[in-house]
Amino acid sequence: MIRKIILENYMSHARTEIELAPGLTVICGPNNCGKSAVVAALETLCFDLDGGWMVRHDEKLCRVTVETDDDHVIVWQRKRRSGNSGTSSYVIDGREVHRVTPADLQEALRLPKVEHQGKKFDVHLSKQKEPIFLIESEADSAAFFSAGSEASRLLEMQRRHKERFRDKRSQEKEVARDVERLSGQLQTLSPLDQLGPMTLAAEQAYEKLVERDKATALLHALTDELARRLEYRRECSMRSQRLAGLKAAPALGDDRALEQTVHRIEVARRVKRRLEAQVKAAERINSPPALPDVESLAKLIDDRQTRARQCILQQAKLAALAKLNESPSPKDTTYLIDIIKRLKNASHLAEQRSKMAEAYGKLTKAAEPADTRPVAELIVRLSQASKKTESARQRVNAAERALAALSEQLDHWVLAHPTCPVCLGPVDRARLLEGVHRHG
C-alpha cells in the first residue's frame, strides 16, 4: 500500500508531497491544479512512460518518489537533453537501474496490469475522461470475470468495501448521536457564557474596592499624621510663648573645678571597673586553705603600720615647719562662713522647689472650665512663676558652682596647711566648714 507520493518538477508540480491515510484518500481541487498529474505520475512510475511532456518547463530533471507501508522506496526520474528526448532511470531501495524497467518493480509497488486472453487490463489506474476498465466492453467483462482468480479478488475487494461502508455508516450514526448529545449539553451549559462577563465585572469591582480601601487607609494615615503635627505645632507654640520672656543665658563661670571633678569621677569609674573585673576573676578562684592562728602576726603588722603612719605624719609636720620662718597672721574667715550659710539656704530652697515640682507632677488634669479667663490668668501667673523658678534655678546653679569653687579652694587650702599655723593643731575640712575649728 502506498504511504507517500513525492512529485518534483513533474508537469505543474515543482515539489509536492502527499501523505496517504489508511483506507480511502480523495484529492479534490479546482481545474488545472494538478490532480490528474498525480495519476499520470503513478502511471509513469509503474510503466516508465516516454516523452518530455512530464518535465516541468525550464527544468532539466523530474522525479517521482513513492514510499510503501512495507518500507520500500521507489524513485523514477527523467533527465531532459534536447527537445523531448531524454533518459529515464529507477532507484529501488537505493539500487539504481538505467534504461530498462526493473524486474522487481511490481513486487515492491504492487500495481501491475492484469492479463487475460492476451489482453491486459489496468485495474488500478484510470485516466481522466476514460471509462473504468471492463465497462467499455461487455465481452471483455465476461471474459475477465470468467477467469476466476482475479474475479474472486475483485469480489473480495467489493465485499470488504461494503463492510467498511457499513462500519462507516454505523460510525456516522454514532457520531450523529454524540453530536446531538453534546448539543444538548452545550444548550444546558449555555448560561455559563454569561458567567464570564459577570466574573470580570465582579473582579473589576473587587479591584476598585481594594484600591478604595488602600486610599482610605492612606487617608487615615495622613489624617493621623496631620493631627500629630498639629499637636506638635501647638506644643512648639506654647514653648515659644513660654521662652519668649526669658533673658539670655548668663555667662558661664570658671569650669576648671568641674573639669577636675569630672576627671576624678572618670578615674573612679575606671578603678571601679578594674575592681569589678578583679572581683569577677576572684569569684572563679577556689577558697584559700585554712591558715593557722595569725593573731599575733596581725597585731604586729597593725603596730608597724601605725608606727609608719606616725613617722610619715611627723615627717610631714617637720617638712611643713621647716618652711616656716615665722607664724603668719591669721586670715579673716568670716566671709567663708557667710558663703556657706547662703549655700545651705540655696540648697534648702532648691529642695523645696523640687518637692513642689514633684507635687505638681502628681496632679491630675483639671476639668475644662466654662469660663477660660481665670485659666488664662492662672496660666499667666504660672508663666511668671516659671520665669521666677528658672531665675531661682539659675541662681542656685551659680551658687552651686560658687560652692564647688569654694570647696575646691578649701581642699587646696587644707592640703597646703595640714596644721594650723597658729595653734599647730591638725586642720580638718569638715570641722572647718562647720566652724568648729578654733585657735588653741
CATH number at residue 53: 3.40.50.300
Measured CA to CA, the distance from residue 36 to residue 125 in angstroms comes to 11
Residue 133 in any domain: the answer is no
Domain residues for the domain of 84 are 2-112
Measured CA to CA, the distance from residue 46 to residue 40 in angstroms comes to 10
**Inter-residue contact 396 to 350 (CB < 8 Å):** yes
350 Cβ neighbours under 8 A, 6+ residues apart: 392, 393, 396
Handedness of CA 266, 271, 272, 276 (dihedral sign): positive
Give the chain's domain count.
3
Residue type, 211: E
Residues 97, 21, single domain; the answer is yes
- Which pLDDT score is estimated for 128? 67
Residue 433 in any domain: the answer is yes
- β-bridge mates for residue 15, sequence order: 8
Residue 436: pLDDT band (50, 70, 90) is very low
% of residues, the chain, pLDDT over 70: 80
What is the mean pLDDT of the segment spanning 246-251?
74
Q: Is the predicted pLDDT of residue 133 greater than 60, yes or no? A: no
- Which pLDDT score is estimated for 27? 87
Residue 439: pLDDT band (50, 70, 90) is very low
Residues 97, 168, single domain; the answer is no
Residue 123 in any domain: the answer is no
Per the rule left: phi > 0, alpha: psi between -120 and 50, beta: everything else, 287 is beta
What is the mean pLDDT of the segment spanning 387-400?
84
Chosen domain end from 190, 224, 243? 190
What is the mean pLDDT of the segment spanning 126-150?
57
Residue 237 in any domain: the answer is no
Task: Give the Å distances, CA to CA, from 170 to 10, 147, 158.
Answer: 41, 35, 18
- Which pLDDT score is estimated for 308? 84
| pTM of this prediction exceeds 0.85 | no
Measured CA to CA, the distance from residue 328 to residue 420 in angstroms comes to 10
Measured from the Cβ of residue 104, the count of other Cβ atoms closer than 10 Å reads 13
Residue 7: pLDDT band (50, 70, 90) is very high
- β-bridge mates for residue 248, sequence order: none
Handedness of CA 54, 56, 59, 63 (dihedral sign): negative
Residue 423: pLDDT band (50, 70, 90) is low
The string of pLDDT tens digits covering residues 340-383 is 888 888 888 888 888 877 777 776 665 665 666 776 777 788 78
Residues 75, 30, single domain; the answer is yes
Q: Which of 69, 9, 68 shows the shortest CA–CA distance to 44?
A: 9
Residues 440, 338, single domain; the answer is yes
Chosen domain end from 190, 222, 240? 190
What is the mean pLDDT of the segment spanning 425-429?
69
Residue 362 in any domain: the answer is no
Chosen domain end from 112, 134, 165? 112
Residue 205 in any domain: the answer is no
Residue 430 in any domain: the answer is yes
What is the mean pLDDT of the segment spanning 395-421?
78
The string of pLDDT tens digits covering residues 150-161 is 556 666 777 787
Q: How many CA atoms are closer than 13 Å to the CA of 437, on its beta-carbon side?
A: 20
Residue type, 427: V
Q: Which residue has the higher pLDDT, 427 or 438?
A: 427
- β-bridge mates for residue 116, sequence order: 119
- Give the least confident one: 46-55, 144-153, 237-246, 289-298: 144-153
**Inter-residue contact 203 to 209 (CB < 8 Å):** no
Residues 107, 154, single domain; the answer is no
Angle, vertex CA 327, rays to CA 323 and CA 328, nearest 5: 95
Measured CA to CA, the distance from residue 151 to residue 138 in angstroms comes to 15
The string of pLDDT tens digits covering residues 257-295 is 888 888 888 888 898 888 888 888 877 777 666 666 667
Measured CA to CA, the distance from residue 101 to residue 258 in angstroms comes to 128
